[in-house]
Amino acid sequence: MRDISFDVYVAGGPGKTYNESVTMKAGISLRGGYDATNGWARNISSFASTIVPLGDRGISAYSDITLAYQSSTIIEGMAISSDTTSSAVFGIVTVNSNIQIQNNKIDFANNSTGGIIAVSVTGANVIITGNSISSNAVYSAIGVKSLEANSAHISQNTFTLSSNNSLSYGIALSGGLNYQIQNNAMTLVGTNLVTGIDILGDVTALNVSSNLIFAKTTAMYNASGLIINTSNASTFTFQNNLVLSSSLQSSRSMVVGGQTTSATATIVNNTMASVGSGFSTTNIQIPFPTGPTTSVQSNILFNSGATLNSGIYEGFGANLADFTGNLLFDMSTGLYINNGNTGSPLTTQASLTYANTIAPAAGSCTGNLAPWDNAAGPNTASVFSAGFVAPTSVTTAADLKTWTIKGYVNATSGPADLDASGGWSTGDIGANAAAAGP
SS3 for 83?
coil
Q: Are 318 and 296 in contact (CB under 8 A)?
A: no
Residue 356 has a pLDDT of 57
Residue 123 Rama label (left phi>0; alpha psi -120 to 50; beta): left
Q: What are phi and psi of 156, to 5 degrees?
A: 60, 30
Q: Is 67 exposed, middle or buried (0-12, 13-18, 19+ CB in 10 A)?
A: exposed
Nearest-angstrom CA–CA distance, 171 and 271 = 20
Residue 290 has a pLDDT of 65
Spatial CA neighbour of 144 closest among 206, 186, 97, 193 = 186
Residue 391 has a pLDDT of 40
The DSSP code sequence of 189-211 is EESS-EEEEEEEEEEEEEEEES-
Nearest-angstrom CA–CA distance, 370 and 379 = 7
Nearest-angstrom CA–CA distance, 104 and 97 = 18
Residue 99 has a pLDDT of 94
Q: How do the pLDDT tens digits run along the chain, 438 residues long?
A: 446 788 999 999 988 899 999 999 999 999 999 999 999 999 998 999 999 888 788 899 999 999 999 999 999 999 998 766 555 678 899 999 999 999 999 987 655 444 557 677 887 899 999 999 988 776 778 889 888 888 889 999 999 888 776 778 899 888 888 899 999 999 888 888 899 999 887 788 899 998 988 888 887 778 999 998 877 768 889 998 888 888 888 889 999 887 666 678 899 988 888 887 778 889 998 887 767 788 899 888 887 777 888 888 887 767 788 888 888 877 778 888 876 555 578 877 777 776 655 443 456 788 888 765 544 444 433 333 333 333 444 444 344 434 333 333 233 333 333 333 333 333 333 333 333 332
pTM: 0.84
Structural domains in the chain? Answer: 6-382 (2.160.20)
